[in-house]
Amino acid sequence: MSPSASPTTWLVSGTSRGIGFEIVKQLLESPNNLVLAGCRTPEKATALHGLKDGAKGTLHVIQLDVANVDSVRAVPKAIAPILGESGLDHLINNAGMGKEDTPLTLDPDVFIETVWTNTLGPALLTQACISFLDKGKEKKVINISSTLGSVASAHQFDHLGPGGAASYSISKAALNMFTYKLKLERPDLTAITMCPGWVKTDMGTQAADLEPAESVASILKVITSVTAADSGKYLSHKGTVIPW
Ligand SMILES: NC(=O)c1ccc[n+]([C@@H]2O[C@H](COP(=O)([O-])OP(=O)(O)OC[C@H]3O[C@@H](n4cnc5c(N)ncnc54)[C@H](OP(=O)(O)O)[C@@H]3O)[C@@H](O)[C@H]2O)c1
């Protein structure tokens, strides 16, 4: 990037490990990218800080717990001096969690934690970033959802047991609706909800189909190719439409 050119800017949540970590890693391969990596416990995120070594792009690690309202509301103050006159081009709401449960066994505290992290967190982070997205060149909000949030696909997950991953699936279906409502409220944004595929991470387990590098390379291709005409879509990591 020439010194005068403004960078392409990204804020990604949940970057200490898994898919979020890999997104940051791949983004840093380009000198054009400035990445704000949100992380719950930066002092423990050794691998994330280590990505600065040999990075072509620019990395800033910021404290961000998406299930803590004060932490999310502190984001504008943290990112304003880093972004300066640049807006935010891409917000990737990636942080997520899930525990085993079913409709008839779900625990109220786990349900609230799951919906807070996977649905309310992305909503509040989008609110916190909106003035920066307004100034951005791309204005893209990418919500990392799951095919488990698809009512039409729910029967495909028999291996989870009847009704398995109930709180998680509900939280992702709600995230999908948040994405669609955001598209309706702000047609000038490109709001996409995406499934990364079944990926080998702590959440996906080593039994999963995809290496993080493969999933993330596809995700980034989709993110860079979508336009406002695609806003509101529910897409796989390959860019195919997932039925609601
Ligand atoms: N892996 C899959 O097969 C798969 C499939 C479909 C969808 N997804 C979705 O993809 C996203 C990433 O999943 P993953 O597989 O990478 O999961 P993962 O390996 O379990 O990593 C989860 C990441 O989210 C962070 N996180 C959790 N709660 C947080 C909070 N309250 N605030 C900030 N960060 C938080 C974790 O940080 P800590 O280290 O601090 O805990 C970690 O960095 C999630 O939204 C998940 O639902 C994954």
CATH number, residue 124: 3.40.50.720
Does the CB atom of residue 96 touch ligand 1 within 6 A? yes
1: in domain: no
2 in a structural domain: no
Task: Kindly give the distance from the C-alpha atom of residue 144 to the centroid of ligand 1, in angstroms, as a whole number.
Answer: 9
pLDDT at 3: 47
In a domain, 163, yes or no: yes
Q: How many structural domains is the chain composed of? A: 1
The pLDDT value recorded for residue 158 is 80
Residue whose C-alpha is closest to residue 90's, from 21, 137, 32, 24: 137
Ligand 1 binding pocket mutation candidate from 62, 203, 211 (most atoms within 8 A of CB): 203
As a whole number of angstroms, the distance between CA 188 and CA 16 comes to: 31
User: Which domain, by its residues, includes 33?
Assistant: 8-236
| Of 102, 120, 20, 122, the residue nearest 61 (C-alpha) | 20
Whether residue 182 lies inside any domain: the answer is yes
Percent of the chain with pLDDT over 90: 95
Distance CA 8, CA 197 (A): 26
pLDDT in tens, 210-223: 999 999 999 999 99
* Nearest atom within ligand 1 for CA of residue 17: 43
**Model confidence at 4: pLDDT above 80:** no
**Residue 241 counted as domain residue:** no
Examine residue 244 and state whether it is found in any structural domain, yes or no.
Answer: no
